[in-house]
Every structure is written in structure tokens, then in C-alpha cells.
Amino acid sequence: MATSDSIGQGGAEPGRVILAGAPLGRPSDASTGLAHALATAPVIAAEDTRRLHRLASDLGVTLSGRVLSFFEGNEDGRVPQLLELLRSGQDVLVVTDAGMPSVSDPGYRLVVAAIAEDLPVTSLPGPSAVTTAIGVSGLPVDRFCFEGFLPRKAGERRKLLAELATERRTMVFFESPHRVAESLADLAAAFGAGRRAAVCRELTKTYEEVRRGSLAELVEWAAAGEVRGEITLVVAGAPRVEAALTPAELAEQVRAREVAGESRKEAIAAVTASAGVAKRVVFDAVVAAKSS
């Protein structure tokens, strides 16, 4: 999927949401790709239209497309209009005052709405795969953490993931394409098969691909063929637990998962993640249920 050398002007194919990272300070830090996108985008959704025009002027760019304001106060109301433009085949370039759209800036609601309609979401090349991946993932971006590369050794990787099972923030990992299938399986075992995630491959490059779904679905996808390219994994944080489960309820959830075909180890890991408690608490509940 091209991201910087061809901004769609309409046609049979739907348009793309294109998240454009803007310079944090000096306009001269902007990429040539951003300048080209600003000059050719048919629609620009800007957090501050005055700052957008100032940036374009500083870059010597003439905006040829339609400019729409897109800030926190009108984001909910603007999304349906932008979706209609996307359906008609027009790309929508999202630009905030500085930094990456959707990461503590407008854009997240549009990304989620576009993904729900299977409309493409991509990003212009930026300085970090972390913010790019989390921006296009469709997962919550209000709070997130970067965990770097997962450990190569299976035992160390599973230990780390067990510690992260109750992490409430969205998590970002780097991973080798050769270990993606194995790591996704470990993530599903530690966090629960239903946890939402995204596999971002070759971001901003010709063969960019973003696979979104549950960890179970992504495990199945990775097992079906060879995964290539640079990989960034984005995984939703643990859900908020409204009320603590009793030991009997924890044990019953483990039993139900075992009946459904999961091993006890997998079932305990999944219940640990979904309940937001320590693995020892779930293990003790299972032991107590067996002895009663």
C-alpha cells in the first residue's frame, strides 16, 4: 500500500485514512512525503486549520484539496462526513498541530470508525514505528507502553507475558517475523484468546499490512503462512474488572475453558488475564475447588 507518492483523488476504490505526523517544532523537520501529501490530498482534516495553512506556507506548499477542521470539540460530529468522503474514494489526510494524530490528539475515533467499515488506514513515514503502529491499530491510545522486543527464549517470553497479563495500558512490542506465530500463541495463552490485537507489518512501505482481530484469530493467520518484513505488535490492555470474582467463580471459569478444549495451564492464564488477578489466586481457587 503506497503512502506518500500517490494520494487518491477518487474512483471505485475507497479512500484511505492517512495519519500524517507533523513536525514537533521546526517546519524544516517535515518530510518531503508530508509536503507532497499536503499538496495533493483531496481532503485534509486538520486540528487547527490556521496552523495547517501556516505549515503549508512554511513548506512552500499550496493546498489543493478541501480543508476541514477536525478537533476534539467536533470530532464525533465530523467522523460521519469523513467516512462518506472515504466511501466515495477520496483519501483523508489527518494532520494535528504537532506529532502523531490519534496519539493524545484527534484521529482515534476516525480510525476506529474506518476499521469498522473495512476502510483502509495507513500512515505517512514517521520517526517511530511505535506511534505509527498504535495510531493505525484501532486500539485505545489514551495510555500505552512500549515493551521493545519480546525475549527470544520461550521461557523468558512467557514469564514476561505472565507479568504483563494485568497491564491495563495498550502494549506495543517489536518482534522478528520468524517468531511472530510463536509469540502470538504465547500472548493468547497469557492474555486470553479473545484479547484484541493488531499485527503491523512493513509500516509505511510498499507491502504494508495491518491485521486486526482477537489473538486467537491472529494466531490462526500467522500459522497459515510465512510472515515477512518488519513487525510491530499492538495488544489491548487488560479490561477493567468491575467486581472481584469469588474463588468459586474463578474455578468455574477455568473448568469451563477446560471443557471447551483448553489445557489447564492455558485456562488459568486466560482467567488470570480476564479477571485481572494474580495467577496464584486463580491456581489456589482451582486447587480449593478440586479438594472440596
**pLDDT per residue as tens digits for the range 109-143:** 999 999 999 999 999 866 678 988 999 999 998 89
pLDDT category at 7 given cuts 50, 70, 90 is: low
CA–CA separation, 164 and 203 (whole Å): 25
CA–CA separation, 135 and 272 (whole Å): 28
Beta sheet of 170-175, edge-to-edge order: 144-149, 170-175, 231-235, 196-201, 209-214
- Alpha carbon distances (Å) from 233 to 82, 170, 281: 28, 10, 29
- Range from 91-95, 201-205, 214-218 carrying the lowest mean pLDDT: 201-205
Q: Phi/psi zone of residue 57: left (φ > 0), alpha (ψ -120 to 50 degrees), beta?
A: alpha
CA–CA separation, 194 and 172 (whole Å): 17
In this predicted model, what pLDDT tens digit does every residue of 44-58 receive, in sequence order? 999 999 999 999 999
Best CATH choice for the domain 144-235 from the list 3.40.50.970, 3.40.630.10, 3.30.950.10, 3.40.50.2030: 3.30.950.10
**Whether the predicted model's global pTM rises above the 0.95 cut:** no
Q: What is the reported pLDDT for 244?
A: 76
In this predicted model, what pLDDT tens digit does every residue of 204-215 receive, in sequence order? 888 999 999 999
Domain spanning 17-127 has what CATH number? 3.40.1010.10
For cell 491456581, what's the residue? 283
CB atoms within 10 A of CB 197: 26
Q: What is the reported pLDDT for 280?
A: 86
